[in-house]
Structure 1
Amino acid sequence: METRIAQIGIIVESPESVEKMNQILHQYGEYIVGRMGIPYKKRGVSVISIIIDAPSDVISALSGKLGMIEHIKSKTLYANI
């Protein structure tokens, strides 16, 4: 099956949402190439970048599940390769 590379940008607005987010990311661990998180203490948020190489439907499912978590905002950017 053909895969795509995408970057999912996540902003975590409340620490209480982190456990649910990590559970979902763990489910998709086989597709995740890398993850970088930066706590922005001045604003009380964390900014996370996920790089994923997966079929489009898997990327969409992950992004959708993340978007349904309260206090989490996410957007997906697809590469043209």
Structure 2
Amino acid sequence: MEKRLGFVGIIIEEREANAAAVNELLGRFGSIVVARMGVPYEKRSCSAITLIVDATTDELGVLTGKLGCLPGVSVKSMLSKAK
């Protein structure tokens, strides 16, 4: 499978309790992450993270599947059509 450029959008609710697990997991997938931007939103006690990734569909599926299983985490992703 060929790698494609894409993004992952992550919302972390109750970030004080849940952010550490997200960061640990993202560290394990650092080889597919091209860029990362995170913004804490104190008013709602949450954070939004956007990742730019260069990944196969399988790699992206494993990452988003593991993220989606974490408590308080919502995730959406997309890969480009072009290879």
Q: After TM superposition, is the score higher than 0.5?
A: yes
Indicate whether 1:34 and 2:23 are aligned. no
SS of 1:9's equivalent in the other structure is strand
Per-residue deviation, residues 29-54 of structure 1 (Å, max 9, x unmatched): 01100000011122221110011101
Q: Distance in 1 between matches of 2:11 and 2:69?
A: 13
Q: Is 1:9–2:25 an aligned residue pair?
A: no
- Report the equivalent of 1:45: 46
Give per-residue Cα distances to partners, 1:7-36, cap 9 Å, x unaligned.
110001012111111111111101100000
Root-mean-square deviation over aligned CA pairs: 1.1
Structure 2: how far apart are the matches of 1:42 and 1:16? Answer: 16
Question: Quick one: distance in 1 between partners of 2:63 and 2:3?
Answer: 14
Unpaired runs of 5+ in structure 2?
none
Distance 2:44 2:36 in 1: 21
Q: Which residue number corresponds to residue 19 of structure 1? A: 20
What is the alpha-carbon distance in structure 1 between the residues aligned to residue 20 and residue 41 of structure 2? 18
* Counterpart position of 1:68: 69
Q: TM-score, normalised on structure 1?
A: 0.92
Higher helix share: 2
